[in-house]
Structure 1
Amino acid sequence: MAVQEGAPAHGNLAHLLPSGYKRTVAAWLEEDAPAFDYGGFVVGDDPAEAKLLGKSKGILAGVPFFDEVFKQLDCRVEWHIKEGTLIDPSTSNGKAHVATVRGPVRNLLLGERVALNTLARCSGIATKSNRLLTLLRAAGYPNTLAGTRKTTPGFRLVEKYGMLIGGVDPHRHDLSQMTMLKDNHIWASGSITRAVKAAKAAGGFSVKVEVECQSLEEANEAAEAGADIVMLDNFTGEGVKVAAKSLKERWGGRVLVEVSGGLTEENVEGFVSSDVDIVSTSSIHQGVGYVDFSLKVVPKAKS
C-alpha cells in the first residue's frame, strides 16, 4: 500500500525533480571511481542481471536517483514494488525482491554502492517521516507535519524527496524560497518589527515571511508587523496550546502558527493542538536509520 499522504493527487513526485539532479548523480559516480576501476576490470562487461533485495522493513523511496545511476551506466531497472510502498521482508523469507537491474556486469558493480546508499538513506527518511505523521494522526492532529532546512549539503534534494514520499511537507528548500527571520536576524536588525518590514520590502508580495518567536509577546509583534507565519520555538507543550489559541483568537487565519524545537516521536503528542497549523522537526531527517538493501548479481549457469 502506498503511503504518500502529502503527494499531489494527480502526479508522480519524480516529476518535481529539476534536471540538474542528473549532474549530481554523475558527480557521485565520478567521486566513487575517480581513476581506474580495478574490480570492474576483473569481471568484464558480459551481460548480467542483479536482484535488488530489501532486507529491512521500510518505505521504498529514492527510485529516480537509483534509476539515474544505472541509466548513466547503460543499465536498465525493472521495479517490482512501487515507490512509496512499505517493504516487509518478513513476508518473503527475510528478503523482498524489490527490483531487477540488467546490463554489463562491470557497470552493475560500478553503480551498486552509489545507488544503494542513496536508496537506503532516502527510504530511511521516508519511513521515519511517515511514522511520525502516523503518530500525529492517531493523536488527532489534522494539520501539516514538516521537515526543516537542517539537511546534508549536497544531498538536500534526496532528503527533501524522501520527506515527500513519506507524506510530509519538506518545508523551505533554500534561503531564496521563503524569508525566515531567526533570533540572529532579529538581534542584528534591532527588532522584530524592523526585520519584518525590511523583509517584506525586499521580497514583495510573493515571498512569505516567517519569524521565530520565543514568547507570545514576540509572536504578536511579528503578526502586527505583517509576518505570514509565526514559529513558536522551544515552547512547552502546554505553552504551545495557550499561545496558539491566543494567536488564532486575535489574528484568525491571517497568520499561520508553526511549532518547532526538539520535537520527536517521544514528545510530539504533547504539542498536538488544532490551533497549530504546522509542526516542524528535523528528527524525521537527521540521525535517521537506513532501510537495508543489497544488490546481488545472479550467478552464471554452469555449463
Structure 2
Amino acid sequence: MTHHYSHLLPPSWKSQVAVWLAEDTPSFDYGGFVVGEAPRKAFLLGKGSKRAVLAGTPFVDEIFRLLDCTVEWHISEGDEFEPIKHVATVLGKARYLLLGERIALNLLARCSGIATASRDRCDFSSKRTKDLAESYGFRGIIAGTRKTTPGFRLVEKYGMLVGGIDPHRFDLSSMIMLKDNHIWSAGSITAAIARARQVGGFSLLLDVEVRDEEEANEAIAAGADVIMLDNIEGSELASVARRLRERWSGGQEKKKFLLETSGGITESNLGERAISEIDILSTSSVHQSVQHIDFSLKIQMSPKVVA
C-alpha cells in the first residue's frame, strides 16, 4: 500500500487554504477583470540555480481545486529536481489561475525550501546534513524546532517531514517541554516535573532543558524522558553525556532517557555536537531564514488571439 505525506494532514487543513485565498483577494479582483474567464493552460516551473526538493503539493492542489482548476504533477512530492523544471501543468479559467498563482508559489517556495534544507544542507554546508553528521559518528535523530511562522506551522513541519528530518513537537500540547522559565517559575526542576506529570499523565514525553550536569542529574532522577543539554558544547558535551550514561546505566539508579543537544548549532561546531553519545540534534536552521525555492507560473499563449 502506498502512503502519501498528505495522509498526515488533519481534517482542518483545507479551511486554512480558503483563509489564504480570502486574505489575498478581500474585495474586487481587478486583474481578473482584465483577463476574463477564457480557458487557459499554465506551466508551473521550478527555477533557481540549484537542485531542490518539491514539497507542498497537497496545498497547491487544494488552492486550485477551490478555484475550479486542475493540477497535473509531472514529478512527485519529495522528488528532487534540477532547474528549470516543468513540475506541473495547471488548467482552468484565466482569472482563476491568477487568483491562485501567488498563494501557490509562495507556499511552494517556503515548503520546498524547508524540505531542501532538511534533506540537503541544513545551512551547514553543501553536503547532506545526515551524511555530514554521520561522518562524525552521529547515528541519532536530526530534528527541527517549534520556532516556526505563526499561522504557517503545518506547512513548515510538513516540509521537514518531506525533507526527511524529525519535526520535533508540533505544539505545546504534543509533548511537555520544560525550559528555564518553567523551572524558575516552579521553583526547581523536580517540582516542575512533578507538576507536569500530574497533568500530562503517562502518554506524553517530558523534555527538560538543563544548563549543566547537576541539573541533568536532577531531571533524570525526577523522571524526565529527554534531557536537553542546551548550549553545552565542545569536549564538555561529550564528557557530560558519557558521565550521565555511566551513572544511570545500571543498579538501583538505572533510568532510561534520551540526550538532546540544541542551541547555536553551526557548520563549525557540528562535529562537536553530532557525537555518538547524543540521541537527538535539534536545530532551527532548517526552517528559520532558509533560502526559498523559486517557482513561477506561466500561462501559455492561446493559438488564436483575438484583437
TM-score, normalising length from structure 2?
0.91
Whether 1:137 and 2:131 are equivalent positions in the alignment is no
Unaligned runs of at least 5 residues, structure 2: 121-128, 250-254
Percent identity over the alignment is 58
Please give the root-mean-square deviation of Cα atoms over the aligned residues, in Å: 1.4
Aligned positions of 1:89-100 closer than 5 A: 89=83, 95-100=84-89
Deviations 1:81-100 (A, max 9, x none): 111111111xxxxx210000
Q: Which amino acid aligns with 1:127?
A: T
Q: Match of 1:75?
A: 69
Q: What's the TM-score once normalised by structure 1's chain length?
A: 0.93
**SS state of the match for residue 191, structure 2?**
helix
* Structure 1 segment 109-124 matched on structure 2, within 5 A: 109-124=98-113
CA distance in 1, matches of 2:228, 2:193: 14
Aligned residues between the structures: 290
Query: What are the ranges of 5 or more consecutive residues in structure 1 without an aligned counterpart?
Result: 1-8, 90-94
Give the Å deviation of 1:130: 1.1
Q: Distance in 2 between matches of 1:134 and 1:77?
A: 35
| C-alpha deviation, 1:10, in angstroms | 5.7
- Measured at CA, do residues 270 and 83 of structure 1 come closer, stay the same or move farther in structure 2, by a change above 3 Å? same
- Partner residue of 1:178? 175
- Structure 2 residue 258 is matched with structure 1 residue 256: yes
Contact 1:80 1:99 in 2 (8 A): yes
Of 6, 14, 24, the residue aligned with 2:16 is 24
Kindly state the Cα deviation for residue 265 of structure 1 after the two structures are TM-superposed.
Answer: 3.4
Task: For 2:302, give the aligned amino acid.
Answer: K
* 1:105 and 2:94 aligned: yes
Deviation by residue 1:32-80 (Cα, 9 ceiling, x = unmatched):
0000000011111111110010112311111111111101111111011
C-alpha distance in 2, partners of 1:138/1:25? 41
Aligned to 1:59: 53
SS in 1 for 2:285: helix
Distance 1:270 1:158 in 2: 31
Once residues 35 and 292 of structure 2 are traced to their aligned partners in structure 1, the CA distance between those partners, rounded to angstroms, is 29
Task: Tell me, yes or no, if the aligned pair for 1:133 and 1:167 is still in contact at 8 Å.
Answer: no
Given that residues 227 and 257 in structure 2 are in contact (C-alpha distance below 8 angstroms), is that contact kept between their aligned partners in structure 1? yes
Instruction: Name which of structure 1's ranges 40-49 and 244-253 shifts more when overlaid on structure 2.
Output: 244-253
> Is the 8 Å Cα contact of residues 136 and 275 (structure 2) preserved in structure 1?
no
Q: 1:277 aligns with which of 264, 276, 279?
A: 279
Q: Determine if contact 1:122/1:159 at 8 Å carries over to the other structure.
A: yes
- Gap change, CA 1:224 and 1:265, over 3 Å in 2: same
Question: Deviation per CA, 1:263-287, whole angstroms, max 9, x where unpaired?
Answer: 1334222212112110001111001
Contact 2:227–2:260 (Cα < 8 Å) also in 1: yes
Q: Which residue of 1 aligns with 2:163?
A: 166
CA distance in 2: counterparts of 1:133 and 1:267, whole angstroms: 15
Deviation of 1:133 after TM superposition, in Å, equals 2.9
Deviations 1:125-167 (A, max 9, x none): 0111112334223433211000000011100000000000110
